[in-house]
Structure 1
Amino acid sequence: MSSPLFADRPAPQPPERGEMDALINRTRLLRGSVDAVRRNTAAGDDDAVWRWQRALCDLAVHQLDDLGAHLNQLKAGRPDQPQESAAPERPLQDGTPPSRVGSAEWDLLSDEATWSDELYQIFGRPPECGPMSLDELPSLVFPEDRALLTAMVTGCLIDGSPIDGEFRVVRPDGQIRTLHMMGEPVLDGAGATASMWAVLRDVSELRRSERAVSESRDSVRRVQHIAQTERRLVTELQEAVLPSRTTSLRLTRDGRGALDLTAHWLPAANAAPIGGDWYDALELPDGDTLLTVGDLTGHGVGAASTMAMLLGALRGLAVAGIEPGALLGHLNQLLDTAEQPALGSALCARYRPATRTLVWAQAASPAPLLFRDGTGRALTQPDGVLLGATSGAGYEQAGVQLKPGDTLVLHTDGLARTDAEAAGQDRLLALAPRLTASDTSQAGARAVVGEFGGSGRDSAACVMVARIG
């Protein structure tokens, strides 16, 4: 049976051969480029984002496969005419054939049916078995989808409504395929429905790719939501136990050996996860002042909760009069026996205003920098290993006599992590003229933040500037 001519439209004209060939070639080139992007998409740190990107590439490849098949059929001409031999379609990576499009016509007067060769392939039906009638077609359709198919066919034959819908079929080989059916009634000269003509497209792989994109997009959103929730929890936890991070911490003690103190927390660039870094200053019962900065390995809620535990213990030990070296020993034991092991660097100092002396100990932390008379130098470090690195570690203490006008800078190693260690320290020491000329610790802190507070730092950092009055 010849393909139908609808009563309300002229016969379609075949496309120009050269124009169609050029369009097919461009489609093939684009398909190859997208496939290359898909193959080169490497898994990154965020698996959810990678799965979403890969699913999008798969979907684009499937759509371009369909487009290429459609253009080849369009180039071949009318479905009732002999078609030129075409190069076999390339299978997808999983070995399944690309989606195909077939056509069918069911004659209501003679009860005959005509299927294209592609439709037999879609249904997995041997051509020698012949086409299926409209009454037989529902036997292959999923039970849940039979009512939909019946409604579409009935509306087309009785009401003259166009068909546009999807249903699932079970092929004889057990494969489940999703078909998209578009069709219209074919009218006779009197305007009555003589037959129904339809195009059926196997969209199984396309729908699978669309589901993969949707699921991976939902996965990305879940990961982002979890990350945002965790970041909010970490921020709330840190704000509950640490000095304010939105304004400078300032502590000024008058009298002999007066201490003017300002501290800043500098966030990491590119919204990196919040870690377990801290700074703190605490007036002790005997009149001394506790100064401490530190950082724990890890990020997120785990690191922040461990930091809160560590800082609580540090404050309690300092109030009890424990000296910095012994205090770090207790913190090391606390981390070493914790249920969730962690490593940490820390600097703990006790400033005695009566004698203007600073007693301090460190656990793999940068040494304090002393600025005096226009120059700066790093204090000689006493021995001390990372907190939590080894059981029973001992931490030496050191002391330094300070003078009125001296400025101390305490910081975590994240402050200048983008530089080599020596280069970062040199940049800090180069601020000596500005730090020694500053009348307040706040002015000195602004100088440090102005130098190191820009972009490029891969982790957060703490800096504390103390000026002896």
Structure 2
Amino acid sequence: MPPHVFADRPAQPPERGAVDALITRTRRLRGDVDAVRQDTVGDADDDPQGRWQRALCDLAVHHLDDLGAHLDQLKEGLPPATADAFADELAAYEADSAAGSGSLLSRVGSAEWNLLTDEVSWSDELYQILGRDPAAGPMSLDELPSVVFAEDQPLLTAMVTDCLVDGRPIDGEFRMVRPDGRVRTVHMMGEPVLDSDGSTASMWAVLRDVSELRRSQRAVRETRDSLQRHQHIERTERRLAVEMQEAVLPSWRGSLQFPPGSPTSLDVAAHYLPSPDGALIGGEWYDALQLPDGASLLGVGDLTGHGVAATSSMAMLLGALRGMAVAGVRPGQLMAHLNRLLDTSTQSALGSAVCCRYDPTTRVVTWAQAGHPAPLLFRDGTGRALSRLDGVLLGATSGASYEQGELTLQPGDVLVMHTDGLTRTSSGPQDAEVAADRLTALAARLTGTRDAQEGVRVVVEEFGQGERQGDACVLVAKVNA
């Protein structure tokens, strides 16, 4: 800001047409930003991302409003104000301030303090900003700190001292209290005005009311920090959920023999398919366990919810499932116990599951299901879903009973069990019949596989790359021929 006493030539007003063009472009851009704020951000009080976006739009609108006001002043100049006009403007300003906005044209004022004559000159806008009656006159530099927050007074004193003593420009911000008790944040910029001897003759400054601008910036900062905290919490919870899931699900890779070395053993393999975007860790699970009596336990299931809550419930359920299976509890009764566990648990969750117990001496599979797709049997190049057994979702009601079924397998038979997330797409969940049809269409390929691991690859190739929603599990068991 060059000292105005040393101006080489009078300031020339800008060309009117150029300012008009800038005003038009600014108003158009302001309307576009406001449309984005109204149409795309909307009411997002419960969404950290939405709140941050809305605060950014508000901040952009405030910047454009200020720019438009300055351009209007540049075009029209400041009209002379009578006492009645000032009173009307002051009333409008206070009404706007009460609504949280403030008059755009009254946000910038100017002042000059003459050190030689002790004269002080304030613009009408500065009186409006500080809510001071013009009849009371302007405030001297000694009086000015009396309306500044006590915490900010040292800053103002240092700025004025640097300007008057060392000839440094003023550039700082402080809070001022109006007579009506309202607090305004004021940005002050100025320079010393030198006399012909190079001494400071006066101090000239422009004061800008930036209360709304700082409020918008603070909202942006707070919502950004809130969003970052929210994202950090989400990343932490996802990492914990993944670690818990990896700790709970069976760690074996490839195919396993249950029981090993038996000519009628099952060749078993399974796979967990994460959600396509990798963001949601659900309660899908699979399990295969060798039991003390030589039989084998196979199971897949799903719990409602996502994240740590779902994986911790899954850990609890799998621990109970394995313990009861080792103790010899049959599938139907096992489901009843799991239902009672979820029904009485403090971690509210519903679950679906299907469990099978395979006896290698007789090749008999005993199984039960709880609100879950039935296993699919593939034999001699064809496939079918096993008849659905009675059994409600786990945790849905107390005292539920679960029907138990039996099936004798033959050498080369393939048994496929999966969670419904395998066939749930963006267009909505598929019903059990449609899902079964898609799987039974793989009959020729599945019955021709060498082992269970190859069968898992067939299923994953068919379903793993589609538009699934959420994660899924698939387990394949093949009777050794």
TM-score by length of 1: 0.93
More deviation in 121-130 or 44-53?
Answer: 44-53
Query: Distance in 2 between the 1:10 and 1:345 partners?
Result: 86
Structure 2 contact 255–453 (Cα < 8 Å) conserved: no
2:449 counterpart letter in structure 1: S
Structure 2 contact 378–443 (Cα < 8 Å) conserved: yes
- Say whether residues 1:216 and 2:219 are aligned partners: no
Query: Distance in 1 between the 2:46 and 2:409 partners?
Result: 50
- Say whether residues 1:434 and 2:439 are aligned partners: no
Provide structure 2 residue ranges, at least 5 long, that are not aligned to the other structure.
none
Q: Which residue of 1 aligns with 2:461?
A: 450
CA change 1:278–1:43 in 2 (3 A) is: farther
Q: Which residue of 1 aligns with 2:302?
A: 295
Structure 1 contact 7–189 (Cα < 8 Å) conserved: no
- State percent identity of aligned pairs: 65
* Matched position secondary structure for 1:409: strand
Task: State which of 423, 430, 438 in structure 2 corresponds to 1:420.
Answer: 430
Residue 271 of structure 1 deviates from its aligned partner by 2.8
* Matched position secondary structure for 2:277: helix
Residue 435 of structure 1 deviates from its aligned partner by 0.8
1:437 counterpart letter in structure 2: G
Q: Which residue of 2 aligns with 1:51?
A: 51
Structure 2 contact 332–368 (Cα < 8 Å) conserved: yes
Query: Distance in 1 between the 2:45 and 2:406 partners?
Result: 45
Task: Report Cα offsets for 1:347-400 as digits up to 9, x if no partner.
Answer: 010011111121110001111111112221111111110001111111001111
Q: Which residue of 2 aligns with 1:130?
A: 137
CA change 1:82–1:32 in 2 (3 A) is: same
More deviation in 222-231 or 38-47?
Answer: 38-47
Structure 1 contact 272–458 (Cα < 8 Å) conserved: no
- Say whether residues 1:225 and 2:242 are aligned partners: no
Query: Distance in 2 between the 1:259 and 1:466 partners?
Result: 6
Task: Report Cα offsets for 1:317-351 as digits up to 9, x if no partner.
Answer: 11111110111011111111112332100001001
Structure 2 contact 3–194 (Cα < 8 Å) conserved: no
Structure 1 contact 65–98 (Cα < 8 Å) conserved: no
Query: Distance in 2 between the 1:450 and 1:9 partners?
Result: 80
Query: Distance in 1 between the 2:99 and 2:174 partners?
Result: 23
Structure 1 contact 66–98 (Cα < 8 Å) conserved: no
Aligned residues: 462
CA change 1:27–1:342 in 2 (3 A) is: same
Query: Distance in 2 between the 1:344 and 1:168 partners?
Result: 58
- Say whether residues 1:97 and 2:98 are aligned partners: no
TM-score by length of 2: 0.90
Provide structure 1 residue ranges, at least 5 long, that are not aligned to the other structure.
none
Structure 2 contact 255–452 (Cα < 8 Å) conserved: no
* Matched position secondary structure for 1:24: helix
Q: Which residue of 2 aligns with 1:32?
A: 31
- Say whether residues 1:141 and 2:148 are aligned partners: yes
Structural RMSD (CA): 2.4
Query: Distance in 2 between the 1:46 and 1:14 partners?
Result: 49
Q: Which residue of 2 aligns with 1:391?
A: 398
Task: Report Cα offsets for 1:424-457 as digits up to 9, x if no partner.
Answer: 3222121112111111111111111111112532
Q: Which residue of 2 aligns with 1:63?
A: 63
Q: Which residue of 2 aligns with 1:174?
A: 181
Task: State which of 152, 155, 180 in structure 1 corresponds to 2:162.
Answer: 155
Structure 1 contact 383–395 (Cα < 8 Å) conserved: yes
Q: Which residue of 1 aligns with 2:316?
A: 309
Q: Which residue of 1 aligns with 2:42?
A: 42
Structure 1 contact 243–249 (Cα < 8 Å) conserved: no
Task: Report Cα offsets for 1:61-82 as digits up to 9, x if no partner.
Answer: 11111111121222234x6x75
Task: State which of 214, 227, 242 in structure 1 corresponds to 2:249.
Answer: 242
